[in-house]
């Protein structure tokens, strides 16, 4: 019995999670696994009413679950930064979800903004370090508010933190068993402390994985290759900040935020799965948001729980809906409502032999 903590969150989060749970339910019937879910309200709405965010006691409670399924974080009436830091980043950091896994896969070339790129050209995964770097929140102001003000933001990289991330990426690349190529994405030519550590660690760990080809690309060049030659990539490993940036570009080349899913992974603890598109408040309650990203995040969750067949079947159903039924992946333009898209995925999942 998988115990799943559900955090619907803000904006369109609850709507897309509803569809994700519909698909989860259908998958559990078809593949014979059992789960129970419990909803946790860590929304901006609740914060505005009660002042409460994610507290240490909540983290202890969440540790009892097999996984967390998150809708979206972000409320237009809450000052930017509060929910991001005290909900999303608090969960990632407290549960030591040190990997942010973001597959970039094109399901239908009609939705790719790149000319002449086909599904076989865009199929790679970004392994983003998710616990350190510039996200650590280290730094200070000096002479704040004066003309001499200095703001310092530190990129914090530990050998242990870097190594566990790189090791995860090699293991993932091996298990994925596609092109067996791991690209380190960094900035060794300028950020000579952090990326020296990353590069040394990468080469050392690589010695244990002679079956995996290695490659290096500067982050600026990486964004160029994503657009020009996405077919060069298989698995990419990078730090927290660069990973944040390149995965938004990745989401666009795979067809947009409507389809982009991610996992915040603690390989030995509680992982959390989310559509990466945010809460899209202007579409809230309109039944127009694309639920496929949330449904794909649910699939990633099942894969991590070991339900690989169910995960594959969900992905197959999503591909079929995308290719056969959708006019667009964008909110309001799909040609179907949010709940209809969820129903279609369920239908194709049930039909899949």
Residues at the contact surface with ligand IPM, assessed by CB under 6 A: 84, 88-89, 244, 276
Question: Please, what is the minimum distance in Å from the beta carbon of residue 100 to ligand IPM?
Answer: 7
Q: 279 to 318, contacts with Mn ion by CB under 5 A?
A: none
From 123-131, 200-208, 244-252, 294-302, give the range in contact with Mn ion by CB under 5 A: 244-252
How many residues bind to Mn ion according to rule CB under 5 A? 1
- Bridge partners (DSSP) of residue 102 are 126
Q: Which pair of structure tokens corresponds to residue 196?
A: 């020296």
Of 88 and 194, the one with the shorter C-beta distance to ligand IPM is: 88
Q: Which is nearer to ligand IPM, 58 or 274 (CB)?
A: 274
| Angle at which helices 159-176 and 194-206 cross, to 10° | 40
Q: Which two tokens stand for residue 172?
A: 């993932």
Residue 60 near which of ligand IPM, Mn ion, none (CB within 5-8 Å, type-dependent): none
Cβ atoms of residues 292 and 20 within 8 Å:
no
Shortest separation between residue 324's beta carbon and ligand IPM, angstroms: 30
* Shorter beta-carbon distance to ligand IPM: residue 5 or 261: 261
- Would you say 132 and 240 are in contact if contact means Cβ atoms under 8 Å apart? yes
Structure tokens at 307: 């339900």
Q: In which element (H, E) is residue 183 found? A: strand 181-186
Nearer to Mn ion, 44 or 262 (CB): 262
Residue 59: CB minimum distance to ligand IPM, A: 17
Looking at beta carbons only, is 20 or 275 nearer to Mn ion? 275
Name which of ligand IPM, Mn ion, none residue 17 binds, using a CB cut-off of 5 to 8 Å depending on partner kind. none
Instruction: Count the neighbouring beta carbons within 10 Å of the beta carbon of residue 17.
Output: 28
Instruction: State yes or no: residue 244 binds Mn ion (CB under 5 A).
Output: yes
Query: From the list ligand IPM, Mn ion, none, which binds 88 (C-beta under 5 to 8 Å, kind-based)?
Result: ligand IPM
Residue number with CB closer to ligand IPM (14 or 262): 262
Burial (CB count <10 Å: 0-12, 13-18, 19+), residue 268? exposed
Identify which of residues 250 and 299 has a Cβ nearer to ligand IPM in the complex: 250
Of ligand IPM, Mn ion, none, which one sits near residue 265, judging by CB under 5 to 8 A according to partner kind?
none
**Distance between CA atoms of 225 and 55, rounded to whole angstroms?**
41
Question: If DSSP states are collapsed to H, E and C, what string results for 95-154?
Answer: CCCCEEEEEEECCCHHHCCCCCCCHHHCEEEEEEECCCEEEEEEEEEECCCCCCCEEEEE
- 108 contacts Mn ion (rule: CB under 5 A): no
**Nearest approach, Cβ of 135 to ligand IPM (angstroms)?**
7
Task: Report the C-alpha gap between 62 and 36 in whole angstroms.
Answer: 14
Report the residue closest to ligand IPM, judged by CB. Answer: 84
Question: Would you tell me which residues interact with Mn ion (CB under 5 A)?
Answer: 244
């Amino acid at each position: 019995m998988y115990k799943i903590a559900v955090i619907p969150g803000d904006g369109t989060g609850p709507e897309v999670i509803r569809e994700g749970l519909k698909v989860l339910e259908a998958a559990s019937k078809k593949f014979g696994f059992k789960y129970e879910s419990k909803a946790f309200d860590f929304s901006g709405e609740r914060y505005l009413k009660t002042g409460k965010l994610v507290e240490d006691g909540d983290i202890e409670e969440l540790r009892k679950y097999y996984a967390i399924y998150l809708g979206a974080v972000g409320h237009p009436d809450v000052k930017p930064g509060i929910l991001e830091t005290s909900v999303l980043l608090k969960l990632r950091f407290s549960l030591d979800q040190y990997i942010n896994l973001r597959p970039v896969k094109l399901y239908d070339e009609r939705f790719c903004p790149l000319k002449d790129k086909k599904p076989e050209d865009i199929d790679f995964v970004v392994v983003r370090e998710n616990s350190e770097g510039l996200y650590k929140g280290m730094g200070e102001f000096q002479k704040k508010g004066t003309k001499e003000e200095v703001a310092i933001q530190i990129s914090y990289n530990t050998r242990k933190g870097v190594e566990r991330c790189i090791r995860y990426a090699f293991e993932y690349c091996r298990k994925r068993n596609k092109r067996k190529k791991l690209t380190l994405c960094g900035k060794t030519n300028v950020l000579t402390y952090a990326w020296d550590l990353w590069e040394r660690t990468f080469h050392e760990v690589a010695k244990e994985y002679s079956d995996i080809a290695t490659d290096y690309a500067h982050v600026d060049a990486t964004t160029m290759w994503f657009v020009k030659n996405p077919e060069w990539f298989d698995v990419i490993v990078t730090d927290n900040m660069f990973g944040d940036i390149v995965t938004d570009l990745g989401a666009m080349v795979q067809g947009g935020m409507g389809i982009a899913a991610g996992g915040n992974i603690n390989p030995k603890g509680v992982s959390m799965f989310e559509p990466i598109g945010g809460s899209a408040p202007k579409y809230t309650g309109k039944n127009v948001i694309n639920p496929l990203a949330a449904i794909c995040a649910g699939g990633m969750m099942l894969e991590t729980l070991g339900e690989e067949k169910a995960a594959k079947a969900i992905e197959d159903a999503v591909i079929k809906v995308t290719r056969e039924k959708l006019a667009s992946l964008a909110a309001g333009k799909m040609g179907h409502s949010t709940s209809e898209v969820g129903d279609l995925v369920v239908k194709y999942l049930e039909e899949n032999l």
